[in-house]
């Protein structure tokens, strides 16, 4: 069997087109321009690449992009003061503080100082609690993108066995909440789980988000299962850097029914959902109708 490739790059372009249409409507009918502020502390090269790409795509869909680059040794007080200014700025509808932060900064404290209604990452404890209790919230971008791909492929997820490998606050836990919300039977497994291959073999939907290159292999996968690979690992091969997921793609694609590639799978969906969340936050801030299909 050879799996269907779930083309996240193409799907993300469609999501961004929908976002762009709604941005046009907000500007023309309501004189509101959605604005996204991205805060980067320090000079992590990978983070700089992501921030640049976010800024470019934000402008491409017609939104205002505000980039704040702070020195690696910025004090917590200065960072909190910037967030307070962005919270109070009516032109800013979404705020994203790029993670990870330098170790002298308390990321929980920083994230929880963002106005929850502008928290387009969905990491604020209020949004986590709202999502966990099935209430309207800002939904973390990567799990939201994975859910969009899954709903598009399956139609209805009700009753399916979903296994999420990884228990992070940014992917694993919110992914499990979303799958539960769509009536899957959800297992959260992780690197310490006993007999991880056997747990994965029970999955109709397998989401790999552990951060270990090519860990999930073909023989861990139930024939015909849908495999969502959240991993972004840079490895050296033949003197070149290569991007690989948490799934061993070649062996998995022999067994799975459908699979996301890396690159070109979940990554582009994450950025598209960030833009979608910014439109959602803008509509909510102005008491306007939210576009269909851009959130759960
Ligand atoms: N507060 C916060 N929110 C985030 O959403 C966040 C963050 N911090 N810190 C870093 C991670 C990482 N992340 C990615 C987004 C897009 C791609 C992406 O588009 N990847 C392309 C390839 C990009 C490449 O070639 O390097 C792909 O998979 O096809 C990857 C990774 C968002 N993050």
Looking at every residue in the chain, the average pLDDT score rounds to 97
Comparing CA positions, the residue from 170, 178, 153 lying closest to residue 11 is 153
Taking residues 148-173, report their average pLDDT.
98
Comparing CA positions, the residue from 270, 262, 228 lying closest to residue 245 is 262
Long-range own/partner contacts, residues 187-193 (CB < 8 A, 24 or more apart): 187/161, 187/162, 187/163, 188/164, 189/163, 189/164, 189/165, 190/165, 190/166, 193/165
pLDDT by residue (tens digit) across 96-124? 999 999 999 999 999 999 999 999 999 99
Answer yes or no: is the C-beta of 262 below 6 A from any ligand 1 atom: yes
Q: What is the pTM of this model?
A: 0.98
ipTM strictly over 0.95?
yes
Domain assignment present for residue 4? The answer is no
pLDDT by residue (tens digit) across 185-234? 999 999 999 999 999 999 999 999 999 999 999 999 999 999 999 999 99
Looking at the 3D structure of the chain, how many domains does it have? 2
Judging by beta carbons within 10 Å of its beta carbon (0-12, 13-18, 19+), is residue 176 exposed, middle or buried?
buried
Contact 1, 223 (CB under 8 A): yes
Contact 102, 41 (CB under 8 A): yes
Indicate if 101 and 151 belong to the same structural domain. Answer: no
In terms of residue numbers, what domain contains 79?
A: 31-117
Comparing CA positions, the residue from 189, 132, 182 lying closest to residue 165 is 189
Indicate if 173 and 233 belong to the same structural domain. Answer: yes
Which of 18, 118, 119, 121 is labelled catalytic? Answer: 121
* Whether 54 is catalytic: yes
Give the whole-number percent of the chain exceeding pLDDT 90. 97
| Residue 296 CA from chain centroid, whole number | 13
What confidence score (pLDDT) does residue 1 get?
A: 66
pLDDT by residue (tens digit) across 233-283? 999 989 999 999 999 999 999 999 999 999 999 999 999 999 999 999 999
What is the rounded distance in angstroms from the CA atom of residue 153 to the CA atom of residue 227? Answer: 11
Domain assignment present for residue 274? The answer is no
Indicate if 44 and 154 belong to the same structural domain. Answer: no
Residue nearest atom 30 in ligand 1 by C-alpha distance: 267
CATH of the domain at 196: 3.40.50.720
Which H, E and C letters describe 25-92, residue by residue?
A: HHHHHHCCCCEEEEEEECCCHHHHHHHHHHHHHHHHCCCEEEEEEECCCCCHHHHHHHHHHHHHCCCC
Indicate if 147 and 242 belong to the same structural domain. Answer: yes
| Cα 277 to ligand 1 centre (Å) | 16
Which of 54, 118, 173, 222 is labelled catalytic? Answer: 54
Q: Is 166 labelled as part of a ligand binding site? A: yes
Taking residues 72-84, report their average pLDDT.
98
Rg of the chain's alpha carbons, rounded to an integer?
19
Domain assignment present for residue 88? The answer is yes
* Whether 118 is catalytic: no
Indicate if 113 and 207 belong to the same structural domain. Answer: no
Look up residue 28 and give its two tokens: 């023309």
Q: Which of 50, 97, 128, 264 to mutate to test the pocket of ligand 1 (most atoms within 8 A of CB)?
A: 50
pLDDT band at 62 (very low <50, low <70, confident <90, very high): very high
Indicate if 174 and 234 belong to the same structural domain. Answer: yes
pLDDT band at 46 (very low <50, low <70, confident <90, very high): confident
Q: Distances in Å between the alpha carbon of 223 and those of 2, 69, 227, 277? A: 10, 47, 11, 35
Indicate if 145 and 261 belong to the same structural domain. Answer: yes
* Whether 173 is catalytic: no
Beta bridge partners of 234: 243
Residue nearest atom 12 in ligand 1 by C-alpha distance: 50
| Beta-strand pair 240-244/233-237 | antiparallel
What is the rounded distance in angstroms from the CA atom of residue 46 to the CA atom of residue 134? Answer: 34
């Amino acid at each position: 069997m050879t799996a269907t490739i779930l083309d996240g790059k193409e799907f993300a372009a469609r999501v961004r087109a929908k976002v762009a249409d709604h941005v046009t409507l907000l500007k023309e009918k309501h004189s509101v321009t959605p604005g996204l502020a991205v805060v980067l502390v320090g000079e992590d090269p990978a983070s700089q690449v992501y921030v640049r790409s976010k800024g470019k795509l934000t402008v491409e869909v017609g939104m205002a992009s505000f980039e704040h680059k702070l020195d690696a040794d910025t004090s917590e007080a200065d960072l909190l003061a910037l967030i307070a200014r962005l919270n109070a700025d009516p032109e800013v509808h979404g705020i994203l503080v790029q993670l990870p932060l330098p170790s002298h900064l308390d990321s929980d404290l920083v994230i929880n100082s963002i106005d929850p209604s502008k928290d387009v990452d969905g990491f604020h404890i209020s949004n986590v609690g709202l999502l966990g209790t099935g209430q309207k919230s800002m939904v973390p971008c990567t799990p939201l993108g994975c859910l969009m791909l899954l709903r598009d492929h399956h139609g209805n997820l009700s009753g399916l066995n979903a296994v999420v490998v990884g228990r992070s606050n940014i992917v694993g836990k919110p992914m499990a909440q979303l799958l539960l919300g769509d009536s899957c039977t959800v297992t959260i497994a992780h690197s310490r789980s006993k007999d991880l291959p056997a747990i994965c073999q029970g999955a109709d939907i397998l989401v790999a988000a552990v951060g270990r290159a090519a860990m999930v292999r073909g023989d861990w996968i139930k024939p015909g299962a849908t495999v969502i690979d959240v991993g972004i690992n840079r490895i050296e091969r033949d003197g070149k850097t290569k991007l690989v997921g948490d799934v061993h793609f070649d062996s998995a694609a022999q067994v799975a029914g459908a699979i996301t590639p890396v690159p070109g799978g979940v990554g582009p969906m994450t950025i598209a959902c960030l833009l979608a969340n910014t439109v959602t936050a803008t509509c909510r801030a102005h008491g306007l109708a939210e576009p269909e299909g851009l959130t759960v």
